[in-house]
């Protein structure tokens, strides 16, 4: 496991202590995480933050633990952020994606905790062709392309249908936390689910007829998207976008690119594009962006989830030879 993803035990203990202090400072069960009377929501990273904002709208104040430009897998929790967690009315996170967040949430004492991983069925995905130590991978390199509970893939938000299931759960949690505005939360949830259903249709129609079904990307974040739309994902690295692929894996991908009529190697905005560009140069392929939507920055191909997903669709259509 990437050691950068772990927070030291002593630091975690101190952070939890601060969080507990923040909790006792609250004025009882009726306290809210926002001074202006809105429901205080703390979201672990962008896809969870986007749901809370779209469903809560004017009734919530949403704070994100993962700031723009930070790779969420590597997030380390500060004492201030743990205190922020303890003061929230609602916490929305995705268990198994960010180990540091999982630990802090478990210690937060917040009553309304929404774990997106319980709101839809998580699946185990590989990166296409599985490969092991016999191909030159040292044990512990992480080439099983899975993590989390029982090796299940947490990148569910890249499947609009599964993201819609999570949206419904977040909406229900906000209704419970703020029953006075339950009707608004239901209305906003229904609108968001409708938009996600329309996006799903766009992807189905847009990727139905393509010259190739295989795409190569930096890390294996697109298993749900590939499965939903009949594609094959081949990842350079595993779930850690910063891990270095072995020479054997790079050679394997070079052969696969020729065999499967692959035209493009995709990279992403929050991680290094070095390996993607190296592979593309070695195979004479193009490069383009396929964004796993773990965060939005000024480099993103869109301002929000829907805009970036439609950019992803356009880039996939171009790379796969959509007809």
pLDDT at position 16, please? 39
Sign of CA dihedral 163, 196, 229, 315: negative
pLDDT at position 177, please? 96
Do residues 47 and 15 both lie within one domain?
yes
pLDDT at position 114, please? 98
pLDDT at position 22, please? 36
Do residues 72 and 181 both lie within one domain?
yes
From residue 275, alpha-carbon distances to 17, 35, 242 in Å are 41, 46, 9
Do residues 97 and 245 both lie within one domain?
no
CA distance 269 to 283: 22
Q: Taking Cα atoms as reference points, which of 305, 309, 273, 294 lies closest to residue 101?
A: 294
- Residue 276 lies inside a defined structural domain of this protein: yes
From 199, 234, 258, the end of a domain falls on 199
Strands (E), 109-261: 112-115, 214-217, 232-235
Do residues 73 and 190 both lie within one domain?
yes
CA distance 159 to 223: 9
pLDDT at position 244, please? 67
| pLDDT tens track, the chain, 323 positions | 443 333 344 444 444 343 433 333 333 333 344 558 899 999 999 999 999 999 999 999 999 999 988 889 889 999 889 988 999 999 999 999 999 999 999 999 999 999 999 999 999 986 554 333 233 333 333 333 344 556 899 999 999 999 999 999 999 999 999 999 999 999 999 999 999 999 999 999 999 999 999 999 887 899 999 999 999 999 887 545 555 667 787 788 888 888 888 989 898 876 767 877 877 788 888 889 999 999 999 999 999 999 999 999 999 999 999 98
Do residues 62 and 22 both lie within one domain?
yes
CA distance 61 to 248: 48
- Residue 139 lies inside a defined structural domain of this protein: no
Do residues 61 and 169 both lie within one domain?
yes
pLDDT at position 245, please? 67
Do residues 57 and 186 both lie within one domain?
yes
CA distance 87 to 1: 31
Long-range contacts of 47-50 (CB under 8 A, 24+ apart): 47/94, 47/157, 47/163, 47/293, 47/294, 47/305, 48/92, 48/93, 48/94, 48/116, 48/170, 49/92, 50/304, 50/305
CA distance 27 to 36: 15
CATH of the domain at 245: 3.40.50.1980
Structural domain span for residue 9? 3-118+155-199
Contact 185, 174 (CB under 8 A): yes
- Residue 223 lies inside a defined structural domain of this protein: yes
How many domains is the chain partitioned into structurally? 2
Q: What is the chain's length?
A: 323
Compute and round to an integer the Cα radius of gyration of the chain.
Answer: 20
């Amino acid at each position: 496991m990437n050691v950068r993803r772990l927070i030291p035990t002593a630091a975690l203990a101190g952070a939890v202590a601060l969080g507990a202090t923040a909790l006792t400072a609250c004025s009882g069960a009726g306290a809210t995480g926002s001074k202006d009377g809105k429901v205080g929501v703390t979201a672990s990273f962008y896809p969870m933050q986007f749901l809370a904002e779209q469903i809560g709208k004017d009734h919530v104040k949403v704070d994100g633990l993962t700031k723009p430009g930070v790779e969420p897998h590597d997030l380390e929790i500060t004492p201030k952020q743990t205190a922020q967690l303890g003061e929230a009315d609602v916490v929305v996170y995705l268990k198994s994606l960010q180990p540091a967040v999982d630990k802090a949430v478990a210690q937060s004492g917040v009553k309304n905790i929404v774990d997106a991983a319980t709101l839809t069925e998580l699946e185990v995905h590989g990166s296409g062709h599985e490969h092991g130590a016999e191909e030159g991978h040292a044990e512990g390199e992480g080439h099983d392309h899975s993590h989390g509970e029982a090796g299940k893939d947490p990148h569910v938000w890249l499947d609009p249908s599964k993201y819609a299931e999570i949206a419904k759960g977040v909406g229900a949690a906000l209704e419970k936390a703020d029953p006075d505005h339950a009707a608004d939360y239901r209305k906003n949830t229904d609108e968001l689910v409708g938009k996600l259903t329309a996006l799903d249709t766009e992807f189905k129609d847009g990727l139905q007829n393509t010259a190739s079904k295989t795409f190569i990307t930096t890390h294996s974040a697109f298993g749900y998207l590939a499965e939903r739309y009949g594609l094959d994902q081949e990842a350079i690295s595993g779930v850690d976008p910063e891990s270095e692929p072995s020479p054997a894996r790079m050679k394997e991908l070079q052969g696969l690119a020729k065999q499967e009529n692959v035209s493009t190697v995709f990279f992403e905005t929050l991680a290094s594009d070095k390996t993607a560009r190296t592979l593309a140069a070695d195979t004479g392929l193009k490069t383009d962006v396929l964004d796993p939507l773990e965060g939005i920055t000024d480099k993103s191909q869109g301002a929000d989830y829907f805009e970036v997903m439609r950019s992803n669709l356009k880039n996939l259509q171009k790379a796969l030879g959509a007809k």
